[in-house]
Structure 1
Amino acid sequence: MRSQRIAVAGGTGRIGKHIVEGLLEIKQQYSLEIIVLSRSRSSDISYAGNNAPIVLVDYQDQSSMRKVLNDFQIDTVISTLSGTTPDAFITSQESLLRAALTVPTIRRFAPSEFAFNSEQVPSIKLYQMKLPIIHSLRQVKQERTDSFEYSLFSCGVFMNYLGYGNTKPEGHKAHGHMPHFPYIFDLSKRSADIPGDGEKQIVYTRAEDVGKFVAAATQLEAWEEYSEMAGDVLTMNEVLRLCEDVCGTGKFNVKYNSREDIAARLSPSPETTEKIMENFFAEFLLAIMDGDCDVKRPINLNNLVDVRPMGVRKYLEQWWG
């Protein structure tokens, strides 16, 4: 059953907004109805000549969410909620799911993944708070006898981080709606901060293409449990060589980090958001070294939908060539 009336929770910023834009791009083609659930009021999201209204919700209030989903006769909920406080994040997603399950028209639910599958990276503490909703979805799937579906969308690292520091006209567009910072590679400084020997493969997908993939997936007749997508699958050394080649300024200043190097960056008791995020990115480097971020399943979505994502070389040439 294809999605027809879709609600994107947290769709006012970052990857959520890219998904909303992906849906708006195909809205007329498939006669879709799209709403954006948000904790705060803001203007409608406009893209490709179409609009998606912002609907104010309280993620701790199931009855208010139930009313919104019911009023709009939503059949698909896509969660892009985020946060660094586990209790609030877990409760918000669980409340959203429980509210959705009471709405007769609901048939699909996508939890907030959109990076690496959270089950693959047990050492990343912030990702542990993504596990309860997956367990809940599996239980619901087992208990319900109707056509309820869920899917875990994974896209690896956002390619947009490679655009940090570019000096192109309108260079800020390299980031899409994603935050502006370098991760592993800082092309503005011609440097790289690589975990291990750089031979571990990593999935890169441009955020704009994530939006296109998820939008296209709503029009599949059936959802698989895992929806894997990729713009490119490259080792970090291969990405490094592409960066050096496109920039054309010779070899980068590269640090190959041992486990001890990365572990030394971890704060034992992170209390501020800044320290929590520093630990998060360091834990990601360790997960890459451990092979947790390796491709574990077929990248199925690339073959299931008609999306042609941008590869790393083309992205680098656009913003650094």
Structure 2
Amino acid sequence: MRSQRIAVAGGTGKIGRHIVEGLLEAKHRHSFEIIVLSRSQSPDISYAGFNAPVIPVDYQDQSSLQKVLNEFQIDTIISTLAGQPADLVYITSQENLLRAALSVPSFRRFAPSEFAIESEQISASVNLYQNKLPIIQSLRQVKQQRPDSFEFSLFECGVFMNYLGYGNTRPEGHKAHGHLAHFPYIFDLSKRSADIPGDGEKEIWYTRAEDVGKFVAEATQLETWEEYNYMAGEILTMNDVVRLCEDVCGTEFNVKYNSREELAARISPAPEKGRANFFVESLIAIIDGECDIKRPMDLNKLVDVQPMGVRQYLEQWWGSH
């Protein structure tokens, strides 16, 4: 059954905001209601002529969560909550949200905070992704207990294409990132450089954050959810991306190819280096094959979304106009 009353947890910023905007845009085609759950008081989110109220909640208080979900008769929860390595609050927040929802009669769908590479696939190398495993295990247990009245899906979109926009000097260049944080990943077009794991022949799948919102919004209107929903704007090897960047920018890039040993040497034991370590760990995961594409991009076939490709994105933010 299609989603009709949707709650987006963490929907005031980053990928959560894109999903809320995708849902609001989809209201022109579909009939559903949206609320946004947030740890802090925020104004309603307005987009494409529709509004989504922002409801402040305490993710450590199951009874208050249950009250909100029951008041709005929520049937679908999309979690975009984020956390740091060893962040128990992040783990318990998603767990509490699920437990509260299970006491709400209308509830039947849950999408945990994935929106990247499969957590179970990449967690061996990337510590941050280990935080995502407990909720997946809990969701599978609920599915076994309620096979006919509950379903969940892990939405995977690869790497956000928006990171290719870092450092562009367009008058509104900040919009290249959408609502995401501003930093380069593998490719820094502002420096005409690339920091590539391995030989560059591993495939990366890119999806623009705005298109992730559109894919997820349309997926809420599918009659059934599979456990995994893969989506992509485009799949390219890192060397393919280098060639596209050089072509669009009209200059040769300074490309560094890194061995696994070279990358491992960059990891620091200092706690304050957790964010930097996360990126290095993800590069090692690429070399180790943990980011290899293991499933077809089924969501591209199931819903009517025409995502932006890498060249189009590069030309928008880096091409000569």
After superposing the two structures, state which structure 1 stretch, 85-94 or 194-203, moved more. 85-94
Aligned partner (choices 209, 222, 225) of residue 223 of structure 1: 225
Structure 1 residues 135-190: Cα deviation after superposition (integer angstroms, max 9, x where no partner)? 00001000114321100000000000000111112111100000111110000110
1:252 correspondence with 2:253: yes
Alignment of 1:88-167 (within 5 A): 88-121=89-122, 122-167=124-169
Work out which of the residue numbers 278, 281, 284 in structure 2 matches 1:283. Answer: 281
Superposed CA offset, 1:250-297 (max 9, x none): x100100011111111012x322xx11111100000000011111101
Question: CA–CA distance in 1 between the matches of 2:63 and 2:167?
Answer: 45
Counterpart-to-counterpart distance in 1, 2:147 and 2:274 = 41
Secondary structure at 1:132 match in 2: helix
User: Which residue in 2 is equivalent to 1:296?
Assistant: 294
Distance 1:28 1:175 in 2: 25
* Amino acid corresponding to residue 9 of structure 1 in structure 2: A
Distance between the aligned counterparts of 1:123 and 1:97, measured in 2? 27
Cα distance in 2, alignment partners of residues 56 and 28 from structure 1? 26
Amino acid at match of 2:132: K
Matched with 2:268 is: 267
State the secondary structure of the residue aligned to 1:130.
Answer: helix
> Paired residue for 1:169, among 156, 171, 191?
171
Partner of 1:60: 60
Which residue in 2 is equivalent to 1:39?
39
- Cα deviation 1:62-106 (Å, max 9, x = unaligned): 000000000000000000000114211110000000001110000
Moved beyond 4 Å, runs of 4+: none
TM-score under structure 2 normalisation? Answer: 0.97
Measured in 1, the distance between the counterparts of 2:145 and 2:32 equals 29
Identical positions, percent: 77
Alignment of 1:12-23 (within 5 A): 12-23=12-23
Report how far residue 214 of structure 1 moved.
0.3
Q: Extract unaligned runs of 5+ from structure 2.
A: none
Letter in 1 for 2:299: L
Deviations 1:92-126 (A, max 9, x none): 00000000111000010000000101011021100
Which letter does structure 2 place at the counterpart of 1:230?
A
Gaps of 5+ in 1: none
The 2-side partners of 1:241 and 1:28 are apart by 39
The secondary structure found in structure 1 opposite 2:59 is coil
| CA distance in 1: counterparts of 2:125 and 2:286, whole angstroms | 11
Post-superposition CA distance 1:33-54 (Å, at most 9, x none): 1000000011111100100000
Please tell me the residue identity of whatever aligns with 2:30. Y
If the length of structure 1 is used for normalisation, what is the TM-score?
0.97
RMSD (Å) for aligned C-alpha atoms: 0.8
* Map of 2:239 onto structure 1: 237
Q: Counterpart of 1:4?
A: 4
The one-letter code matched in structure 2 to 1:247 is: C
1:91 and 1:116 mapped to 2: Cα distance? 21
The aligned length equals 317
Q: 2-side partners of 1:173 and 1:28: how far apart?
A: 24
- Give the match's secondary structure for 2:229: strand
Distance 1:295 1:52 in 2: 34
